[in-house]
Amino acid sequence: MEQPTGTCGQCDVSSYFSRDFDKMQACKDLAALAATPYDLTAPSALSPERIRRYRTRAAGFDLLYATQRVDEAVLAALQRLAEESGAVTQFMLMKKGAVLNRIEGYPSEERQVLHTACRDIFAPASLAPEASGQARAELDKLADFLAALEAGTIVNEAGQSFTDLVQVGIGGSDLGPRAVYLALAAYKIPGRRVHFISNVDPDDVAAILSGLDLARTLVNVVSKSGSTLETLTNEELVRKAFADAGLEPNRHFLAVTGKGSPMDNPARYLRSFYMFDSIGGRYSATSMVGAVMLGFGLGYAHLEEILRGANAMDLAAEEPDILSNPPLLLALLGIWNHNFLGSETLAILPYSQALVRFTAHLQQCDMESNGKSVTRQGKPLTWKSGPIIWGEPGTNGQHAFYQLIHQGTSIVPAEFIGFRTSQYGQDLLIEQTTSQEKLVANLLAQTLALATGQPHENPNRCFVGNRPSVMLLADRLTPYAMGALLALYEAKVVFQGFIWNINSFDQEGVQLGKKLATRLLAHYAGLRENPDYSGEASDDSGWALLAAAGLLAK
């Protein structure tokens, strides 16, 4: 099959698709430097001068990395790796609309990657004007819809306003939007609530609907294809609940879907908003996938602030100097720890309860993007790709898994996220300090303790140190800050994919299980129609094994 050249204007991306990670000179230099990484436990290793110097800033966030096992030589080699791999050049090509979602010589999605266009509507001149125009048009539609809700021109059958919205979606249609909404619940419109249904487990639907006044509830169904099985199944369960309550679902249901999909149907939905092929699910929180729900729950002005923060970080990601580019520096430090110092996992630890689901979003964003084992030419990787991402908010995690991080046999690099002040500003002096001060003190203490360790004659109380971490610190978790944080991690993930020469924008790994589940569902249907059904003789789906084990019996 003839493949597209992957060009954008006069920009040819082909040369970057053939750069094997382990063949680059910078990687060889880093491998040599990894034999003697910086010793964080040495006397004066964490001097005030080092802490001041090993710090960069963008879009309101400070990235402090003095507690990484790096020195000037390592940072210089990481800069060379960024240049040799063309990381920033590829990022710019992505923003301009190059076809980067592809595998050379093999059938693949063949798509542009333009999630940044959802927020460069605030830039003086968009790098992808067509995509930005699409985003602007959908935002204008949403602004009109939200204004009509506010003015009372869109109401329920009884003339009442809507107080609740249920988002029905899964994967990128749930994780990112949910994480952002929960992070910014302090800014919600009084009298409005947002809820989420994602799991195909019917108990999830029942639990959410049980506490709602359906007459005053909107349902936002999100599926690009309009055919996502879990989402459509949940939608029908919710529609039945509305019908059973004597309500007309088409007056309550909204759709976020691809233009022309089966869900783009005004007979079934009060309004439809469009998502586009160039925006992957896990990068879609700032598209209509998240915007409709966020606009309803937080208001249009706060939604715009999220987009402005994201755009500010997108611009910072264009900087070629890694010390002026927090997303790129974070990506390179992750590569240093994963590929050269041998750490398999990464803990992302927000010291903010509002970010309770942010690590879950990053698990998808990172592991679905960079959990790949072939290059962009379809060749097996001979180097490690993405790490395992995990974590929980502090200080809860300190009383759970930090024991392993401090004294376990596995080195777990950590990325801490914190804020100098709280969202609500409701606090109290207890033993001469506020709760927020206690939270930030614990955050700072963990980074220092992991780095420096503690010698002790009792081996059970000995901490060896040299456990690397970084800290992302901002003044307050505002809508602008949340947008910046979201975009920082999106850029970090794609930078790592560019450097590893993998396709961070497809997700073939989720397809096999779906395919087998579809075949098993066909057998369930056959069993329902005929209790003696035993499957086709040629079937190899595992049906016979499951049936023989009695796992399918009620």
**Annotated active-site positions, please?**
368, 399, 514
- Three-state SS letters, 4-16: CCCEECCEECHHH
Q: For residue 285, give the nearest of 138, 438, 154, 115 by alpha carbon.
A: 115
Q: What is the DSSP letter of 115?
A: G
Give the sign of the dihedral formed by CA 169, CA 174, CA 178, CA 181. Answer: negative
Distance CA 197, CA 202 (A): 10
Residue among 345, 343, 337, 378 at smallest CA distance from 502: 378
CA distance 303 to 296: 9
Q: How far is CA 492 from CA 44, 313, 316, 495, in A?
A: 31, 11, 12, 5
The answer to whether the beta carbons of residues 339 and 383 sit under 8 Å apart is yes
Residue with tokens 């595998």: 103
End-to-end CA distance of the chain: 48
Between strands 111-112 and 99-101, the pairing is antiparallel
Tokens representing 231 are 């989402």
No. of helices (H) and no. of strands (E), the chain? 18, 15
Show Cβ contacts of residue 326 under 8 Å, excluding neighbours closer than 6 positions.
56, 57, 58, 61, 63, 313, 316, 472, 488
Which residues make Cβ contacts (< 8 Å) with residue 525, sequence separation at least 6?
none
Location of structure tokens 């988002």: 167
Residue 271 to residue 295: CA distance in whole angstroms:
14
- Please state whether beta strands 111-112 and 7-8 pair in parallel, antiparallel, or not at all (unpaired): unpaired
**DSSP alpha helix (H) spans, 12-61:** 25-33, 48-53
The two tokens of residue 94 are 């992505």
Q: Would you say 351 and 416 are in contact if contact means Cβ atoms under 8 Å apart?
A: yes
In sequence order, which ranges of 299-325 are alpha helices (DSSP H)? 300-316
Q: In sequence order, what are the residues at sequence separation of 6 or more whose Cβ sits closer than 8 angstroms to the Cβ of residue 50?
A: 66
